[in-house]
A and B are shown apart, each in its own frame.
Chain A
Amino acid sequence: MCETETQLIAKATTGNKEAFSMLVEKYQKPVFSVCYRMLGTPTAAEDAAQEAFIRAYQALDRYDPDRSFATWILSIASNYSIDQLRKKKVTILSMDSEKHAWLAPPDPGPSPEKVALVKEKNALVQAILADLPETDRAAVILQYWHDYSYEEIAETLDLSSSAVKSRLFRARKLMAEKWQEMQLISAPNVNAAAKRIAHETSTI
């Protein structure tokens, strides 16, 4: 029998870990994605995502059922990642700098070229995000990869909608400047990937 999210939450609130693990199964991808984009390494993302779910489970009695569970869990993951970045000043590494034990391959049986391309693009994305302030980075991630509205981002990051607007405006400007810089510098991987993206967009 397939249980609804509300039923699973109700069960989990009484201490049923199996019920909560079904919620973990459902939301692992967006939570991991946020943590990965925020922290930049699969290992850090795995740890942060696990910790976010642990915190959510332990704080389940404080969860407001009128609020979306997805927004709530992403809020925990985003804020935990922001705290991690502030505490440890995690350096965003490129995909090449770490073993990918906690990251599933892009799709079943990818070709080496595709893997290389994804790595290149990932390095580019992380390089662009690296210079953004923590909260701005979280706002960008929620908007671009999770299609969150200003209001949803505001709720997730505990900000006002106008603050989200101004943060996203500032972030877009910083990212565009970074992008322009990267096209000028001669970092081989990043430069090649940036040029490829430029070519892709010109052909669209």
Chain B
Amino acid sequence: MKHQQYENWILMDEELNKEQQRDLHRHLKQCSQCQALYQASHQITHLFKTMPEPTPAAGFSTRWLKQIDKAEKRKNRLILFITLGGISLATMILLSTVGLELRSVMGSFPQMMFELVTLIANWFVFFNQISDIITPLFRVGAKLLSPVWLYVSVFGLSGITAAWTISFYRSRGMQKELNQ
């Protein structure tokens, strides 16, 4: 059997059957390397198993109660800090946004006023130009149309409208009589 197998048996911490145990002990007598490993392994196990269990100093749970109180206070402070931090951050963002908006409005206010004045001036110029076009037309019309012509035209148009309306109703009345 190979040397490695014996090393595995020593280090594997598994129960060996009687035949394996005899085989291993035969090998240990011949192989100083495996013997040293076996002894070291055995001595370490003995050392570990004979060590007393370390015990904390008295009052461990009382100290724990103090520690948990401190930990909870720390946690609460952290939550408070995060909450206040979040609120402060949100407020800062809001204020800076509003501030920026106000600043941009304040920054362009003279320009805005200038544009408003220009617009009003443009409208004023536009109406002025329109009136410049329309006013001469009225003046010419007033000169061309004398009051006599104006009366003749108004009465003439009224007469034509009245004649057309009368003839229209008469023709409808005659149509009804023919249908009956």
CA distance A120 to B63 in the complex (A): 29
Is the pair A144, B49 in contact by a Cβ cutoff of 8 Å?
yes
Q: Provided the pairs A17-B68, A50-B67, A204-B46 are in contact, do residues A24 and B57 lie with their beta carbons within 8 angstroms?
A: no
Binds A, one of B35-43, B92-100, B139-147: B35-43
* Binary contact readout A126-156 vs B (1 if CB under 8 angstroms, 0 otherwise): 0010000000000000001100000000000
* Binary contact readout A27-52 vs B (1 if CB under 8 angstroms, 0 otherwise): 01110110011000010011001100
Q: Within 8 Å CB of A28, what residues of B? A: 56, 60-61
Is the pair A169, B12 in contact by a Cβ cutoff of 8 Å?
yes
Identify whether the interface residues of B are mostly helix, strand, loop, or mixed.
helix
Q: Which of A18, A33, A101 contacts B53 (CB 8 A)?
A: A33
Q: 8 Å CB contacts to A: which residues of B28-62?
A: 36-37, 39-58, 60-62
Q: Provided the pairs A21-B65, A103-B54 are in contact, do residues A176 and B45 lie with their beta carbons within 8 angstroms?
A: no
| Residue of A whose beta carbon sits closest to that of B63 | A50
Q: Provided the pairs A176-B40, A180-B40, A197-B43 are in contact, do residues A45 and B64 lie with their beta carbons within 8 angstroms?
A: no
Q: Which of B46, B56, B69 contacts A32 (CB 8 A)?
A: B56
- Size of the chain B interface, CB-CB below 8 angstroms: 37
Is the pair A21, B64 in contact by a Cβ cutoff of 8 Å?
yes
Is the pair A197, B47 in contact by a Cβ cutoff of 8 Å?
yes
Q: Which of A21, A22, A49, A172 contacts B41 (CB 8 A)?
A: A172
Q: Provided the pairs A49-B60, A198-B43, A201-B43 are in contact, do residues A172 and B11 lie with their beta carbons within 8 angstroms?
A: yes
Name A's B-contacting residues (CB within 8 A). 17-18, 20-22, 24-25, 28-30, 32-33, 36-37, 42, 45-46, 49-50, 53-54, 57-58, 101-104, 106-107, 118, 121-122, 124-125, 128, 144-145, 168-169, 172-173, 175-177, 179-180, 194, 197-198, 200-201, 204
8 A-B pairs within 8 Å (CB atoms) are namely A17-B65, A25-B61, A28-B56, A46-B56, A53-B64, A103-B54, A124-B47, A198-B39
